[in-house]
């Protein structure tokens, strides 16, 4: 997908940003085109050839966003009791950058935290996933972040018990 200056984008690692410039750089004798993306106070250069599912995507449209966040109301999937296996699985979901995956991470860690103490890694991943989710919620549905936080909390409270008890 081609982006233009001013377009809002979601970077799979850094979250919601805006294309602020189209740039060309010569690296190792090769000229490549880059999107210059401003994410908060961070500026990143994303090769245009790599933009797409692997690094940049547009914010989820409102209708699709509402359908996707319904994942938050579905039963949480049990997570591994082994902290390293759990971290690896959650990080793999976070790496794919899809809204659906963010929702699953938030849902499953929130569910896991109801019956288990979350360790530092769990809490870090949960906070990061919630932050990325709320940024996109704010933009996709054009609601204040505080409203998005409230709606997220309400959806998670509606979550039934695990589908695999």
pLDDT at 42: 95
Q: How many CB atoms lie within 10 A of CB 9?
A: 22
pLDDT digits (tens, 9 = 90+) for 51-60: 555 589 999 9
Can you give the length of the chain in residues? Answer: 165
Please check whether the domain covering 62-158 is classified as CATH 1.20.58.1290: yes
Q: Looking up tokens 């449209």, which residue turns up?
A: 61
pLDDT digits (tens, 9 = 90+) for 84-128: 999 999 999 998 889 999 999 999 999 999 989 999 999 999 999
CATH 1.20.58.1290 location in the chain: 62-158
Q: How far apart are CA 51 and CA 48, in angstroms?
A: 5
pTM: 0.85
Cα 45 to the center of its chain, rounded Å: 19
Q: How far apart are CA 98 and CA 60, in angstroms?
A: 9
- Flag whether pLDDT at 74 surpasses 50: yes
Q: CATH number of the domain at 8-57, please?
A: 2.40.10.170
CATH 2.40.10.170 location in the chain: 8-57
**Which H or E run includes 64?**
helix 62-68
Q: How far apart are CA 162 and CA 165, in angstroms?
A: 6
Q: How far apart are CA 133 and CA 110, in angstroms?
A: 14
Q: Do residues 75 and 26 touch, judged by C-beta distance below 8 A?
A: no
């Amino acid at each position: 997908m081609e982006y233009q200056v001013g377009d809002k984008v979601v970077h799979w690692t850094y979250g919601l940003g805006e294309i602020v410039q189209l740039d060309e750089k010569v690296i190792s004798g090769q000229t490549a085109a880059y999107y210059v993306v401003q994410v908060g106070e961070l500026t990143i250069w994303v090769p245009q050839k790599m933009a797409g599912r692997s690094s940049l995507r547009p914010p989820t449209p409102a209708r699709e966003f509402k359908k996707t966040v319904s994942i938050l109301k579905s039963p949480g999937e049990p997570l591994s009791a082994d902290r390293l296996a759990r971290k690896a699985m959650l990080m793999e979901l976070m790496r794919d950058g899809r809204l659906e995956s963010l929702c699953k991470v938030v849902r499953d860690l929130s569910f896991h935290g109801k019956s288990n103490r979350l360790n530092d890694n769990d809490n870090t991943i949960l906070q990061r996933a919630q932050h990325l989710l709320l940024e996109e919620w704010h933009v996709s549905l054009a609601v204040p972040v505080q409203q998005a936080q409230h709606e997220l909390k309400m959806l998670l409270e509606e979550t039934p018990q695990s589908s695999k008890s």
